[in-house]
Chains A and B, each alone.
Chain A
Amino acid sequence: MARKKISLSNIIITTFLLVYSAYVIYPLFLMVMTSLKPTMEIMKNPLALPTKPIFTGFIRIFRDANFLLYLKNSVFVTVLALTFSLTSSIFLSYALARYDGKTVNRLYFLFLAGMIIPIRLGVLFLNVMLNALGMLDSLFSLVLIYTAMSIPFSMYILTGYFRMIPREMDEAAFIDGCSSFQMIPKMIVPLLKPAIATVAIYNFLPIWNDVYFPLIFIFDSSKKTFMQYVTLFFGQYQTDWNLVFAALTFATLVSLGFYAIGSKQLVQGLTAGALKG
């Protein structure tokens, strides 16, 4: 009966969404196109497609020794922070899910609060503390900060998963003579794979993309992170647009490539983190 009316509204809705997706894609598209144009052409015809695409910008950044060094630094920091936070959170979440009582509840909410408190509010004391420990200007201090930052969300997701695994299962393992220390890696971790993927992917982006903590704690030019490099690069080569756009494009493609692989887990993590169920 209302068929015609519904399809009209569907046309309007689809058109709106298509226009919006063009708006979302356009800046990224423009960035990629610009990275393939010589600087002169960028200045003359900023919006046109490249007359003949060139890859000099990309070749130049890949020949830049600092580029590879900073990429390596970021990989080091990200991998270590994810490993530390995952390992410690698995044990933490097991304990919070398997034990009962007031202390357990209080610890749960203590960690949960960290999901929304911006850790940067404590940056001044962190500065004093790292200074006293002689850890200013060290990549390892970034690892520890990012680990602390990732624990609350990891705990939240993993505790939820542990609660879904029946307790009888680990009780059976105990009877077979397994201790908790053996059981967690052997029995539980394989069952947790989807949750671990969600946690790892969700925590990856804020660490990889961060410039705040490197900006405050890292000065030594051999210890800068990749995003810090992009920041410096933007300031330094403001007139060499072809080069700048190549760097921006590469950095964006890394994030988007990662998103293409892990988008399902990322969205799961996001919605689980803010809503229940």
Chain B
Amino acid sequence: MKRSKTAFWIFVIPSLVIYVTFMLVPLVASLGLSFFEWTGYGAKKFVGFSNYIKLFTEEPNNQRLGNALKNNAYFFVITMLIQNVLALVLAVFLQKGLRGFKTLRTIFFAPCTVSVIIVGFLWTLIYNPIWGPLNNILAGIGLEKLQMAWLGNKATALPAIAVANAWQYSGIPMMLFVAGLNAIPNELYEACAVDGGNEWHKFRHVTIPSIKSVILIVSTMTFVGNFSSFEIIYAMEGTLAGPNYATDVMGTLFYRTAFGARTGSPADMGLGATIAAVMSVVIGVGVLFWLRLYIKQDDTKGS
């Protein structure tokens, strides 16, 4: 049957206009802004690469950038280790399908639906050095020595935030792992058992290889999520990402630089755009990787 081309475009155009105007154009045009000097109001002046030179070679910008990239990488590694490993363990255990496990799964996912900002506030109070539950619980089990100002200590601040973040988000990778595990045919496990494999062998030689693509998707999502994070740091450490920038990530550095006037320092939107450009490059690698996985799946499953 012949379908009209005009109708096709009439159907596509409303979405396309909104998507392009409010998402694609801003993404690309924001990169362009990194070649201008301007404070947000008034005229923009074309300055070529001078914002990049300012960001990469001038103090304190270059130190802040290096620090934020390092913190983001650290945040990513901790999250992979605690959140995603935990999510995999939970998924494998839930797979036993004992009575009540469905309810547990619903509970584990629940924090994902709460606003990041609320989770941040809640954990700020949990870590409160004076009356927060964490220090109280430590005292209760005889570990007074471990009591400290978790968010005020340079060494513990970022891991403490990562723990709060993992408390909230473990449910998402867990659900993805559950879906991946459900798709593994039972025969594979039976074959492994016939060959004399124990539970560990099954996990190592059947489960892990079968969910490789889920592991890749989860890692990419974590990567993109971490390198664009802002709210959790904002809620727990403010825009200054203290103590002494120990929790400063690209998202908070960008916000302070571009919209600094609201936090007391002068705004530099041009430099902010340059930081956003660096973020776009880093995240772009993650996005391309994710899309490639997708297109590959599309080909193999032939939809």
Per-residue CB contact flags for chain A residues 209-223 toward chain B (1 = under 8 Å, else 0) read 101100010000000
Per-residue CB contact flags for chain B residues 135-166 toward chain A (1 = under 8 Å, else 0) read 01100000000000000000000000000000
Per-residue CB contact flags for chain A residues 196-235 toward chain B (1 = under 8 Å, else 0) read 0000000001001101100010000000000100110010
Q: Give the residues in chain A near B30, CB-CB below 8 Å.
A: 121-125
Q: Give the residues in chain A near B109, CB-CB below 8 Å.
A: 259, 263, 266-267
- Within 8 Å of chain B (Cβ to Cβ): is A276? yes
**Looking at the complex, which one of A31, A118, A124, A151 makes contact with B19 (CB distance below 8 Å)?**
A151
Q: Measured between C-beta atoms, what is the minimum distance from B287 to chain A in Å?
A: 5
Which residues of B (78-126) have their CB < 8 Å from a CB of A? 90, 93-94, 96, 98, 101, 104, 106-111, 113-118, 121-123, 126
Knowing that A24-B107, A209-B114 are A-B contacts, what are 12 other residue pairs whose CB atoms are under 8 Å apart, sorted by A's residue number? Answer: A28-B110, A28-B122, A31-B122, A46-B136, A99-B3, A107-B16, A124-B33, A124-B276, A144-B18, A209-B117, A255-B113, A276-B297
Is B33's CB under 8 angstroms from A92's CB? no
Is A149's CB under 8 angstroms from B23's CB? yes
Which residues of A (126-168) have their CB < 8 Å from a CB of B? 126-129, 144-145, 147-149, 151-152, 155, 160, 163, 167
Is B180's CB under 8 angstroms from A251's CB? no
Docked Cα-Cα span, A118 to B24, in Å, equals 11
Can you give 7 A-B contacts (C-beta < 8 A)?
A: A92-B15, A109-B291, A119-B23, A123-B276, A125-B33, A148-B18, A212-B230
* Residue of A with least CB distance to B1: A171
Q: Give the residues in chain A near B122, CB-CB below 8 Å.
A: 27-28, 31, 248
Which residues of B (182-237) have their CB < 8 Å from a CB of A? 183, 199, 213-214, 217-218, 220-221, 224, 228, 230-231, 235
Question: Which B residues contact A (CB, under 8 angstroms)?
Answer: 1, 3, 7-8, 10-12, 14-16, 18-19, 21-30, 32-33, 40, 90, 93-94, 96, 98, 101, 104, 106-111, 113-118, 121-123, 126, 131-133, 136-137, 167, 172, 175-176, 178-180, 183, 199, 213-214, 217-218, 220-221, 224, 228, 230-231, 235, 258-259, 269, 272-273, 276, 279-280, 283, 286-287, 290-291, 294-295, 297-298, 301, 303
Docked Cα-Cα span, A212 to B94, in Å, equals 35
- Within 8 Å of chain B (Cβ to Cβ): is A182? no
**Looking at the complex, which one of B115, B183, B217 makes contact with A277 (CB distance below 8 Å)?**
B183
Interface segment among A11-19, A49-57, A58-66: the answer is A11-19
Q: Give the residues in chain B near A127, CB-CB below 8 Å.
A: 40, 269
Question: Which A residues contact B (CB, under 8 angstroms)?
Answer: 9-10, 13-14, 16-18, 20-21, 23-25, 27-28, 30-31, 42-43, 46-47, 84, 87-89, 91-92, 94-96, 98-99, 107, 109-114, 116-129, 144-145, 147-149, 151-152, 155, 160, 163, 167, 171, 174, 180, 205, 208-209, 211-212, 216, 227, 230-231, 234, 248, 251-252, 255-256, 258-259, 263, 266-267, 270-271, 274-277
Docked Cα-Cα span, A107 to B13, in Å, equals 11
| Interface secondary structure of B, over-half rule | helix
Is B113's CB under 8 angstroms from A258's CB? yes
* Residue of A with least CB distance to B225: A118
Is A27's CB under 8 angstroms from B123's CB? yes
Docked Cα-Cα span, A116 to B194, in Å, equals 42
Is A248's CB under 8 angstroms from B295's CB? no
Docked Cα-Cα span, A256 to B106, in Å, equals 11
Q: Given A30-B133, A92-B15, A256-B114, are A124 and B294 neighbors across the interface (CB < 8 Å)?
A: no
